[in-house]
Amino acid sequence: MNFSAVVIEKTETGQNAGLRSLTLADLMDGDVTIDVSHSSVNYKDALALTGRAPVVRRFPMVPGIDMAGTVSASSHPDFKIGDAVLLNGWGVGETHFGAYSQVARVKGE
């Protein structure tokens, strides 16, 4: 399965952000996979995308610190396929791939 995501990469001259095609294998570890339906553009995400402040702590990174969506796969006991979920924080968009993607994988805790 291919899906689109905004990816920030660090280069010798700074960083760049662009739309890329990813697969489930590209996602980071987690026990809940989410089909992302919504995210916001807030100040922290704007800083991450422009590179004006050190928000992103690992590269490459999918930015986006909040998301809403539907669980598409889960091995966590608290979440089942079809659950509506909302996530804000937890390092997404900074140290863990975030919400500017059609699909995200996170830890259920």
What is the DSSP-derived secondary structure letter of residue 44?
H
Range among 14-18, 44-48, 74-78 with highest mean pLDDT value: 74-78
Q: Which pTM was predicted?
A: 0.93
Pairing of strands 66-74, 14-23: unpaired
Q: Which helix (H) or strand (E) holds 97?
A: none
- CATH classification (class only), 2-106: alpha beta
Question: Looking at this protein, which amino acid is placed at residue 64?
Answer: G
All structural domains of the chain with their residue ranges: 2-106
Q: How far apart are CA 66 and CA 49, in angstroms?
A: 15
Pick left, alpha or beta for residue 77 (phi over 0 → left; psi -120 to 50 → alpha; otherwise beta). alpha
Check residue 14 and give its pLDDT: 84
Statement: residue 89 has pLDDT above 90: no
